[in-house]
Structure 1
Amino acid sequence: MSEKTAENTARRLLPLLVILMVAVVGAFTLRDHLSFEALAANRETLTSFRDNNYLLALLSFMAVYIVIVAFSLPGATIATLTGGFLFATFPGAFFNITAATIGAVIIFLAAKWGLGEKLAAKMENSDGAVKKIKDGIDENQWSMLFLIRLVPAVPFFLANLIPALVGVSLWRFTISTFIGIIPGGIVYTSVGAGLGEVFDRGETPNLGIIFEPHILLPVLGLCALAALPILLKKLSKKA
């Protein structure tokens, strides 16, 4: 590898390396500051600031949310709850989903620029199982993108990286992310909207609500709907 090539590679990897370094540091230093307890302790300060400076509070909140997602910092769920607590279910859900999508796009672009394009090209030019996997993803990109967003078990961080590493286009990633996180975003924002009563009772919110039957079953139904085109393609090929 020539010196110029090595320099270009290092430059391309720099944004992704910065994100990884900040994520590691944040995991050890910010966990106690981005928590439900911290939100409960500062709720009056936050609501007062919102009431007196609504636009500034909104922009500050979204900026913090974007940074949390872009750098994979702990506290994304708390940020979503905070959006509901400060801005109600609507328009709080829209603010949460928009900020999460922007943050996801940032880490997607960093991964795509640093590794994705080269890795996707190598997979495209390879043979055997690797090429089949790449072709399978390419043939069902919309369905696969919606599935990894809708399935609660897929970590948000991985759902941002995988599309970048298999050559998904930016616009497909952005649209599928925004639409795919709407169900979960609305659920957790609505939980945040009811935090005032939870604080008054001295309780903690039910963050496992997404796995309760009345929430999980509709989400699984959406997953099945997203997977339907993949199933139909397989059936048509067999036929």
Structure 2
Amino acid sequence: MFSVVIFQAFYESAGIERIRMKKKKLFIVLFVVVIVIIFYMAGLEKYASLDYLKLRMSEFIDYYNTHMLFVIFAYAAVYIVVTALALPGAAVMTLAGGAVFGVYIGTAVVSVSSTIGAALSFAGARYLFRDWIESKYKNNLVKFNEGIEKNGFNYILFLRLVPLFPFFIINLVLGLTRVKLKTYVLTSWIGMLPGTFVFVYAGKQLSGIDSVKSVMSGRVLLALSMLGLLMLVPLLYKKIKSKM
């Protein structure tokens, strides 16, 4: 379970046997663990399935038509929590956004919500773990952080565009670097937009979708991957030019 991994990492990073754990950090970790435990104990993951979405879709649409703003804000709040804590269901919720809200509103709501969730996950990892990581691997991270500071936009955009890297891992790992929060938020928003649009658009044809994986066809994956690789071209050019 992801929450267990997070707790173990924090336990090791804080060095409980050697130093006192800061109360604020301990509270945050326990709060996250409690939420995740409640999520699974209550069986809430069943509501994040494609079958459940198809079964209740007409009800969701009817409720949205009569309580538009409430549904949008409630949906956004849940989406932010799901992405920030890496709970299952983000992909299905994105499809639901397209099916209920339509392509344009759905893309806007999902895009903003996913970016906020990513920023919270990023900030959480930075606050809880970065000091310990830097104190233990400072010499190894110097060059890496220099590269991130100079070319963070290109690196993050590449990672966001290529749908081969789990987003929550990107959030956690980059939270341990020196990349600025505003750079991370802006680049993540831009980089996640194409993939978000693909899923939201697919949600409009929800009845024809058999699985979440079927949304990302080979052509779509190839197109996004090629777009991501283009972000690395300027960096490769700089390196080749510096060696000439």
TM range, smaller chain:
0.7 to 0.9
The answer for the alignment partner of 1:50 in structure 2 is: 64
Instruction: Determine whether 1:208 maps to 2:222.
Output: no
The answer for the alignment partner of 1:66 in structure 2 is: 80
Contact 2:134–2:141 (CA under 8 A) maintained in structure 1: no
Contact 1:69–1:104 (CA under 8 A) maintained in structure 2: yes
- Secondary structure of 2:179's aligned partner: coil
The runs of 5 or more residues in structure 1 that have no matched partner are none
- Secondary structure of 1:181's aligned partner: helix
Aligned counterpart for 1:147 among listed residues 158, 179, 183: 158
The answer for the alignment partner of 2:178 in structure 1 is: 167
Query: Which stretch of the first structure deviates more once superposed, 57-66 or 26-35?
Result: 26-35
Quote the Cα distance in structure 2 between the aligned partners of 1:160 and 1:70: 9
Map of 1:76-115 to 2, 5 A cutoff?
A: 76-115=90-129
The answer for the alignment partner of 2:24 in structure 1 is: 11
Q: Give the drift of 1:17.
A: 5.0
- Secondary structure of 2:88's aligned partner: coil
Q: Give the drift of 1:174.
A: 0.5
Q: Give the drift of 1:67.
A: 1.2
Instruction: Determine whether 1:219 maps to 2:224.
Output: yes
Cα deviations across residues 11-38 of structure 1 (Å, max 9, x unaligned)?
Answer: 2354245335544664573332211111
Q: Residues 27, 2 of structure 1: CA spacing in aligned structure 2 closer, same or farther, 3 A cutoff?
A: closer
Quote the Cα distance in structure 1 between the aligned partners of 2:77 and 2:85: 12
The answer for the alignment partner of 1:156 in structure 2 is: 167
Contact 2:94–2:203 (CA under 8 A) maintained in structure 1: yes
- Secondary structure of 1:73's aligned partner: coil
Identity %: 27
Q: Give the drift of 1:140.
A: 2.0
Q: Residues 20, 66 of structure 1: CA spacing in aligned structure 2 closer, same or farther, 3 A cutoff?
A: same
Q: Residues 132, 205 of structure 1: CA spacing in aligned structure 2 closer, same or farther, 3 A cutoff?
A: same
Quote the Cα distance in structure 1 between the aligned partners of 2:158 and 2:26: 28
Quote the Cα distance in structure 2 between the aligned partners of 1:27 and 1:235: 50
TM-score, normalised via structure 1 length: 0.85
Instruction: Determine whether 1:37 maps to 2:58.
Output: no
Misfit runs of 4+, over 4 Å: 120-123
Q: Residues 189, 88 of structure 1: CA spacing in aligned structure 2 closer, same or farther, 3 A cutoff?
A: same
- Secondary structure of 2:231's aligned partner: helix
**Number of residues of Structure 1 aligned to a counterpart in Structure 2:** 228
Taking only aligned residues, the RMSD between alpha carbons, in angstroms, comes to 2.5
Quote the Cα distance in structure 2 between the aligned partners of 1:137 and 1:121: 18
Instruction: Determine whether 1:232 maps to 2:237.
Output: yes
Contact 1:20–1:71 (CA under 8 A) maintained in structure 2: no
Contact 2:148–2:178 (CA under 8 A) maintained in structure 1: no
Q: Give the drift of 1:130.
A: 4.0
Q: Give the drift of 1:117.
A: 4.3
